[in-house]
A = this chain, B = another copy of it.
């Protein structure tokens, strides 16, 4: 471990929660150098929806590399890119009746968000962007201005401008529809809200604590955007690629965002890859206006194609995801019943679920205990108060059950201590 302490920057974070050196991983399992095996409910913070080293993706990648397939070609056309474009078009967009142009941005979510911001501002000629409380959109300067988390915002060291913050669905209580504030401010000529270029929203706020926007709220949001020619951006970086029970998180609501950002599980293999989907009429980029060295990761094209071909040709995979999601919900609800609703609340949707604890200390204690028992699981939320369960969607029922049982057992042990019992 010395090399990490002596040479790697202090910025490391997950490495502090799970202080082991890992070596090998497959499916929902990850192994350290000492041969210990862990069930992985973190899964790259939602990057490994198809599991570690999924063999259906791994073999095509090995073949591609072995045959000297292009690894890097900037944004030049390759057969791997063509295949991915065709698959995404035919397996994802067409069946959902969606029309988008695909922009391969730099290979991280934050880069997809930065591209989305730029194009929304170009299209409208406006600068202001509405973002929501507890939203998370990345850490480069344009994205971190959208991000709510003060820990990340403070890191910027400069003012974060051209963003108006409004309350997310439910932020002002169940009975207050927060889109009304947005609408009122738009219609009010002295509200101080500069007519926004865009509204950016997550359907389920991953880092923000698994808050879920209702379909009705999303539809009202879309309607307001349409009426005032505001670009609607859905940031689907964490919630997309099947995580919530459909490929895109917004499918159930019926909205059709103008721009969608994807990354994390898009390559299917954990490879850096990001995509900004843009309605054709908004794709007014000049050549290379937003660029970057790694904006077409061909290895990722290969694995992403394989993921689409193997999992999205029919409904089998997503049906299983939904079933697993219901299972997780059921188990978490039982835990809340068992240990007290004053201590625990179930949050999230699909396979993007969590247990919101009464405070961050409780959540941390549960995660720590779980790790001791062989489960990797992390927290999210403003106070890190949500035990966030982002296990691979392809996880076996056995491992899923085992992982959930570890959480339950850990809660039991943690809550047994005086302190929490008193609070409960």
- How far in angstroms is the closest Cβ of chain B from A326? 27
Contacts of A190 on B, CB cut-off 8 Å?
A: 133-134, 136, 148-150, 207-209, 381-382
Q: Is the CB of B42 within 8 A of A68?
A: no
Instruction: Give the interface segment out of A244-252, A266-274, A395-403.
Output: A266-274
Given contacts A71-B271, A283-B10, A382-B190, are A76 and B114 in contact (CB under 8 A)? no
A140 at the B interface (CB under 8 A): yes
Complex contacts, A19 vs chain B, CB 8 Å: 77
Q: Out of B68, B117, B140, B291, which one reaches A157, CB within 8 Å?
A: B117
Q: Given the interface contacts A9-B102, A52-B71, A284-B10, does A77 sit within 8 Å of B1 by beta carbon?
A: yes
Q: Looking at the complex, which of A78-86, A216-224, A330-338, A350-358 is the stretch in contact with chain B?
A: A78-86
A73 engages B167 (CB within 8 Å): no
A13 to B74, CA, bound (A): 9
Check if A165 is an interface residue, CB within 8 A of chain B: yes
Tell me whether A387 is interfacial, beta carbon within 8 Å.
no
Nearest to A147 among chain B residues (CB) is: B192
Smallest Cβ distance from A11 to chain B, in angstroms? 4
Residue of B nearest to A43 (CB): B72
Q: Tell which of A23-31, A307-315, A316-324, A410-418 binds the partner.
A: A23-31
CA distance A191 to B101 in the complex (A): 32
Interfacial residues of chain A within 129-162, with CB under 8 A of chain B in the complex: 131-136, 138-143, 145, 147-162
A21 vs B185: C-alpha distance when bound (angstroms) = 39
Assembly CA distance A344 to B3 (angstroms): 50
Q: Is the CB of A24 within 8 A of B118?
A: no
B193–A8 CB distance below 8 A = no
CA distance A88 to B37 in the complex (A): 29
Cβ-defined contact, B78 with A22, below 8 A = yes
Interface centre among A3, A89, A145 (most CB of B within 10 A): A3
A230 interface residue per 8 A CB criterion: no
B69 in contact with A23 (CB, 8 Å): yes
Q: Which of B15, B103, B172, B193 contacts A176 (CB 8 A)?
A: B172
Most buried by B among A30, A207, A291: A291
Total contacting residues, chain A, CB less than 8 A: 152
Q: How far is the CA of A132 from the CA of B192 in the complex (A)?
A: 8
- Give, as a whole number of angstroms, the nearest-CB distance from A26 to chain B: 5
Contacts of A141 in B (CB 8 A): 114, 117, 140-143, 145
Bound CA span A153–B133, Å: 24
Least CB distance from A45 to B in Å reads: 6
For window 185-226 of A, CB contacts with B under 8 Å fall at 185, 188-195, 197, 207-209
A122 to B67, CA, bound (A): 46
Q: Is A420's CB within 8 Å of the partner chain B?
A: no
A56 interface contact, C-beta 8 A: no
A13 to B287, CA, bound (A): 5
Q: Is the CB of A76 within 8 A of B140?
A: no
Q: Are B24 and A278 in contact (CB under 8 A)?
A: no
Instruction: Tell whether, in the assembled complex, residue B188 and residue A133 are in contact, meaning their CB atoms are under 8 Å apart.
Output: yes
Chain B residue nearest in CB terms to A19: B77
Please pick, from B161, B171, B181, the residue contacting A161 in the complex, using a CB distance under 8 A.
B161
A47 at the interface (CB under 8 A from B): yes
Question: In whole angstroms, what is the CA distance A157 to B145 when docked?
Answer: 15
A161 CA to B90 CA in the complex, in Å?
42
Q: Enumerate A218-261 residues with CB–CB distance to B below 8 Å.
A: 237
- Ordered by A's residue number, 6 sampled pairs between the chains whose C-beta atoms are within 8 Å are A7-B102, A11-B115, A52-B70, A149-B192, A152-B289, A172-B180
Known contacts A114-B140, A190-B209, then 18 further A-B pairs from the complex at CB < 8 Å, ordered by chain A residue: A9-B283, A10-B101, A11-B291, A12-B287, A15-B77, A21-B82, A47-B72, A47-B74, A53-B65, A72-B271, A106-B111, A111-B111, A140-B140, A149-B190, A150-B189, A151-B189, A158-B159, A272-B294
